[in-house]
């Protein structure tokens, strides 16, 4: 974690080896460290809104292991333009996204 002024800036986890091992159907419950709103919500991955919410939370809050566990590479490419992400997270992921979009 880097420190900028008095604020701490979380390192954005962008694993180079992201593949399609993460679930793409069924339901998931994110651990509180990723979904810390206090609600233990189940997310139905067949619901596009739920899927986007899982991806947004994991990309913002997750470690590389979390990203590998919850985010599928092909699905991320499909929903990327629909995700609401902080600028620092989007900027950190843009090279990964751009590299995979040019090879498709």
The model carries a pTM of 0.86
DSSP output for 30-73: --TTTSTTS---EEETTSHHHHHHHHHHHHHH--HHHHHHH--H
pLDDT average, residue stretch 46-70: 96
Alpha-carbon span 96 to 94, nearest angstrom = 5
Nearest partner of 50 among 33, 74, 28, 17, judged by Cα: 28
pLDDT score recorded for residue 99: 94
pLDDT band for position 92 (cuts 50, 70, 90): very high
84 three-state secondary structure: coil
5-57 per-position pLDDT tens digit: 444 557 899 998 899 999 999 999 999 889 877 666 899 999 999 999 999 99
Both tokens of 72, joined, read 């599928």
């Amino acid at each position: 974690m880097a420190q900028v002024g008095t604020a701490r800036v979380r390192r954005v986890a962008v694993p180079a080896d992201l593949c399609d091992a993460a679930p793409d159907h069924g339901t998931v419950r994110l651990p509180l460290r990723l979904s810390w709103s206090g609600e233990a919500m189940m997310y139905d991955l067949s619901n596009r809104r739920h899927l986007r919410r899982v991806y947004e939370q994991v990309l913002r809050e997750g470690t590389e292991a979390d990203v590998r566990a919850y985010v599928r590479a092909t699905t991320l490419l499909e929903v990327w333009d629909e995700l609401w992400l902080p600028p620092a997270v989007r900027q950190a992921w843009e090279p990964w996204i751009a590299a995979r979009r040019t090879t498709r």
